[in-house]
Each structure stands twice: as structure tokens, then as C-alpha cells.
Amino acid sequence: MINMKTNDDRTGFEKLSTTVFSEISMAIQSLAGEIASLIRERADKGQTVVMGLATGSTPVPLYRELIRMHREDKLSFENVITFNLDEYYPLEPGHPESYHRFMHEQLFDHIDIPADNIHIPCGNCSREEVFGKCADYEAAIEAHGGIDIQILGIGRTGHIGFNEPGSSLSSKTRLVTLDSITRSDAAKDFLGESNVPRHAITMGIGSILAARKIYMLAWGRSKAEILRKAVEEDPQESVPASFLQSHGNVHVITDEAAAVELTRNKYPWLVGFPEWTAGLIRRAVSDLSLKLGKPLLKLVDKDYQENGLADLVTEHGPAYNLNIKVFNELQHTITGWPGGKPHTDDQHRPERAEPAHKRVVVFSPEPLDDMLAMAGTLNRLVTQGHEVTVAYLTSGNLGVPDGEVRSVSELILEAGYSDPDSLAVKVSNDLEQKGAFDQDSASIRKLKGIVRRNEARASLEICGLRSCNVKFLDLPFYEHGKYRQFTTGKDDVSIVKALLEEKLPHQVFFTGASADPSSVNSKSFEVMKEAVEQLADESWITDCYFWQYATGNKEWEVDQIDMAVPCSPDELAKKIQSIYQHRSQMSQVPLMQSKHKEIWEQTQDRNRDTASRYDSLGLAEYEAIECFGKWK
Ligand code: GLP
């Protein structure tokens, strides 16, 4: 779907040199190769290399590749000096979420870098010491001759290091206050937002810009909007990464998902002469209609000509032909029969009419992902007589706050089930001994998983699905892992494969293809994709339709929708009720103190927004719409 062709005109939009890779591994190989060459070149001359390093999930694949090069290609780091961008404050270096610990676990412990060459801002110095320590940090960078290569990620607020919006161009290493979005993004790592430190020490934007060469990396759909701002908008304090534009040697490296919002991909007709595929025509025409606030069928040639679409209307016009073509295509995405309408002409329907009763498998990375995206569709599939199985790939137990299992275990104990070997007793003992930031014991994780199973069953029951049709796969990558550090393997794939072989589905619903690569959604997709690839030669799989729902709360663009399933007001209310069963996932922040919307409110907005886009395009006006893209 992404136009990868190089086009010189994009320089008019992109103010940072940006390379989009179809595979993250290719991006990493090229970057790690360059770093390794510099390290070797300097080592031959008896010189050092000074690297500026970042944390977060973004640079992890780079660190893994450097470790591999150390082990397999004998790359030595003895001449490498590192400066990390930042550290939470206050935080002890031994804390599980400290960047000290992260860097040692993810890189330093696996290479031969001398301990004295490693520099990370102090998270545990006293307030009185902070100022002096920050000045010392700057002085140490300078004493080593400045940074040769600086690696950066980008936060959803546009921060680099922990330079939040409002940071100045000349800022140096200092103590900062974290943005609420940044703290909520870190909430999962710290097992709750209230545990996330309010401050951090970070190298300043000025310190970063002093590096000789800078690489900013961005993976996954959730970075797309902020990346576009950093790359295409003028430098501004509200997007600190945009200040990189003042540096002459910055290279942005992204995957396709993070690059979708760049003009070259989103509006390729503005940067050159794209090939007008059916998908691109749909995007251009629907975008024009939404932008002008005019229904599709009322667009005229002049609208096309005045909005950068003169080529399109010349090649494929007149306007009315384009309008009706796109109108019909979108009209044909709408169906109240997500499993296909039996015994009808299905030429213009998203799903096949036959077989009338289909076997359907819905994969959900964690309980609730399915409900947010498709509770209404699920309800229809069940009522329309299809054999639906919902398979939760992971238990989701990492997402349950301690308070929830505490009250469950107390309830069980109070009901008299207090056998010393029982799970409730073990959990209540373990909770007593658990420090604020300790990982969960096996018993706590087990009970948390049970909490989520119960919520999932209650939720599905509202959609008419009986618990015998619910599978909890509890994939090992999740049960043995922690956030941002999941590694999938053969065991995960064989579990998913076995389910597919047992069900032989006609339809599969899934998500996660463009999610942040370290996320549960992305890992779940990776496993499902591998399982499907291993089964690719089976005849049933060639007949199976794969329907993708969007990850998180970011809905598909109109041109990406292949099936739009409307919800009536009653169906939407039922959907909200089913989401509400996932009590442990509701906000832990008192709503009065937060602008944050509850998860069901966000979903309601998302589905209503899709309906209103269809309405604005001149199609029928529905209360809400759930939508899906076909995986080809
Ligand atoms: C943290 C770090 C940043 C990092 C950002 C993005 O805030 N301080 O240096 O770039 O997170 O994190 P991730 O790579 O996990 O998306």
C-alpha cells in the first residue's frame, strides 16, 4: 500500500533525510554495519569512538545486532565510550526499570566494553548534587572529544531523550519534569502510572545537537503522526525532535508503519507522479471529499484541479466517473453480514455467501482487544449462525493491578476457602511480601490470568458466545516474558498452528501487523503469521479470508477499509456493556483528575467517527461502524 518509489519532490516536505525500510532487520543491519566499521577503523588507529545511546524499545534490535557482531564477528568494544541520554529521577540504578539496569541487560553485559567507558546520568544523587552532576556529564562528553554517533528514539510527545515539549534548542543536561503522556506510556513498565517517577535527568537538545552524526529511529504505527511532525513541520518547541532539522547530519530510519503519515506515502500525488492504482484513487478521492466537506458525488473537476489532483482527473476523469467509482467501492464495503450473506449474489460483498455457516476464528492478543475492535461484528457472527471461536493468544495477566487480585483473594478467603495450599492463600502471602516494584510471583500471575479469563467470558457472553467457544492459549512468550522484552519461539507457533488445524476456519480475524514491534500485539501477529505461513500449502487456508482489525485506538483510513460493519444504537450500547466487563482494565486514575477518556469512551468515539466519515462521504448515516481490512 505504501509508495516506496524515490521521488525528488518530497524534499519540499521532508526536512530531515529519511529512509524507510520494509524490514526493521534491514535497517538495523545497515546501521550496525556502519557503527562496526567506525569502531574497527578507529581501533586500527588506536583511537576511541564516542557513542550516544538511547533506551526504550526502539534501539533494542540494534543492541541485539551489536551483541551478535561481538559474538560472531569478533567486534570488540574496548575502544568504545558511551554516554546515555537519560535516566529517571529519583531512581536507584538497581531498580528493574532504571536505564542503568536496562543498558546493562540489553547491551553492556554482553559485550567487552570496559566499565569505566560507560556513562549514564545519575538517578540516585541528591537534589543538591544534581546541578553539579549534570555539569560534570557535559564536561565528560567534551573531555572525550564529543559524540561521534548519537542514537535516538522518539517519544509520542516528540521528545528526544527526555526533552519534553517546551525544551529549548540550547538546553543542556539537566533535571526535567516528565509529560503526562510519557508517564502513561511508561506505566506498563512500572506496573502502574503512579509508580513512574515524575522527573528525569536528560542530556539537553543542545547536547544532542553537538553530536557529529545523529540517527533517529522510529518503528510502528504509533509513531507515525509525531514522526511526520518532526520530519515535515517547521522546528517548534512543541515537537522537540523537530529541532534536529538545524543539524546538518541527521538520518531518520523508519519502518513502513512509522512512515505512513509522511506526505510521500499518504499523499504521493503531492510529491510526484504516482501510479494511480485502485487503492490510491480511493484514497485521493475520499480524502478530497473529506477535506472539502463535500459528499463524493458532488465533487467537480475544479475540486480535483485545485487540490493537487489534476493528473488524476485528466488520466481517469471526468470527476463524475471517479466519484461514482469510489462511491460504489465504499458502498460495497458496508455489510450487516460479516460472515457473508447466505444464498445471495456476493459479487459486490466483502465476504462470500457460501458456505452459509462458516467456521470463524477471532485471534485477540489479550482479552479485550477483540471487544474494542469488533464486539458488534462478533455479536452478528454469532447471531447469524456461524461457528465462532475466540482465541486469546496471551493471558494479559501483566495488565492486572495488584489491587484487583488482592480483593479477589480476600473474597475467596472470606468465603472460607483458606486451605494453606490454595492459590488464594499463596497469593495473599506473596502480595504481603511483594515490594512496590517487584515482579509478580507465579501464583500472582496465575490469579491475575484467572481474573482476565473471567472478565473475557462475561464480556463474550453478552455477545452471545458460550464459554466452550473461548480458548485461552496463554502463549509462552508472554507467560515467561515482561513488557518490551518478549521473544517468540517455536512453542508459540505450534500452539497457534494446532488451533488453526483443529478449526480449519473459513474466516480469521486478527490484529497487530503494524503495531510497535516490541508490543504484545506485534508479537502475537508475528506468531500468527508464522503459523499461517507454515500452513500455506493446506487447501483450506487458500480458501480462508483473513480480516485485520486495527491495533490500539487508531482506526483504518477509509481507503484501507474492505469491510465496514454498522452498529445500531442498541448494538453500540451492548458493545459498551461488554467492554465494561473488563473491569481490571478500566482507568486507575480518578477521572476527575484526568483528561484521559475511559477505554469504552475512546472506542465509542472511534466507531462513531468512522460512521460520520462514511456519512460525510455521502454514504448512509449509521450510529457507529466497525471496520476491517483484508489481508492479502
Ligand atoms: C523514553 C526514552 C526515550 C525514548 C522514548 C521512546 O522516553 N527516554 O529516549 O526514545 O522513551 O520509547 P520507545 O523506544 O520505547 O518507544
182 C-beta closer than 6 A to ligand 1: yes
C-alpha cell at 66: 551489536
Nearest CA residue ID for atom 5, ligand 1: 155
Q: State the burial class of residue 531 (Cβ atoms within 10 Å of its Cβ: 0-12, 13-18, 19+).
A: buried
Q: Which atom of ligand 1 is nearest to the CA of 516?
A: 16
> How confident is the model at residue 180, as a pLDDT?
86
Decide if pLDDT at 319 tops 80: yes
In terms of phi and psi (left: phi > 0; alpha: psi -120 to 50; beta: otherwise), the region of 48 is beta
162 C-beta closer than 6 A to ligand 1: yes
pLDDT digits 0-9 by tens, 416-447: 888 888 898 999 999 999 876 678 899 999 99
Radius of gyration of the chain (CA): 26
Q: What is the mean pLDDT of residues 358-368?
A: 97
Share of the chain above pLDDT 70, in %: 96
449 C-beta closer than 6 A to ligand 1: no
Catalytic residue among 164, 329, 351, 455: 164
Q: Are 496 and 511 in contact (CB under 8 A)?
A: no
Q: Give dist(CA 475, CA 1) in Å, integer.
A: 31
Query: Would you place residue 588 in the very low, low, confident or very high pLDDT band (cuts 50, 70, 90)?
Result: low
Which residue reads 507465579 in cell numbers? 442
Q: Tell me, yes or no, if 23 is annotated catalytic.
A: no
More confident residue, 554 or 531: 531
Residue from 63, 86, 154 to probe ligand 1 pocket by mutation (most atoms less than 8 Å from CB):
154
CA of 477 to the centre of ligand 1 (A): 23
Mean pLDDT score across all residues of the chain? 93
Residue 610 burial (CB count, 10 A): 23
For the entire predicted model, the pTM comes to 0.91
Q: Which atom of ligand 1 is nearest to the CA of 162?
A: 8
> How confident is the model at residue 476, as a pLDDT?
97
Q: Give dist(CA 616, CA 558) in Å, integer.
A: 12
Q: Using alpha carbons, select from 238, 84, 88, 99 the residue that is nearest to residue 157.
A: 238
Side-by-side strand order, sheet with 118-119: 17-21, 250-255, 213-218, 149-152, 49-53, 80-84, 118-119
CA of 111 to the centre of ligand 1 (A): 23
> How confident is the model at residue 4, as a pLDDT?
41
Q: Computed from CA positions of residues 487, 493, 496, 498, in that sequence, does the dihedral angle turn out positive or negative?
A: negative
* H-only helix segments in 397-464: 402-414, 423-433, 442-462
Decide if pLDDT at 592 tops 50: no
Q: Which three-class secondary structure state does DSSP give residue 463? A: coil
Query: Would you place residue 188 in the very low, low, confident or very high pLDDT band (cuts 50, 70, 90)?
Result: confident
More confident residue, 273 or 527: 527
Decide if pLDDT at 241 tops 90: yes
Residue 399 burial (CB count, 10 A): 21
Q: What is the mean pLDDT of residues 542-547?
A: 95
Share of the chain above pLDDT 90, in %: 84
Q: Give dist(CA 285, CA 296) in Å, integer.
A: 8
Q: Using alpha carbons, select from 327, 315, 220 the residue that is nearest to residue 277.
A: 315
Residue from 151, 152, 159, 196 to probe ligand 1 pocket by mutation (most atoms less than 8 Å from CB):
159
pLDDT digits 0-9 by tens, 452-469: 999 999 999 999 999 889
**At 618, which amino acid appears?**
G
More confident residue, 444 or 588: 444
CA of 152 to the centre of ligand 1 (A): 8
CA of 4 to the centre of ligand 1 (A): 27
Q: Which atom of ligand 1 is nearest to the CA of 85?
A: 9
> How confident is the model at residue 528, as a pLDDT?
97
> How confident is the model at residue 370, as a pLDDT?
96
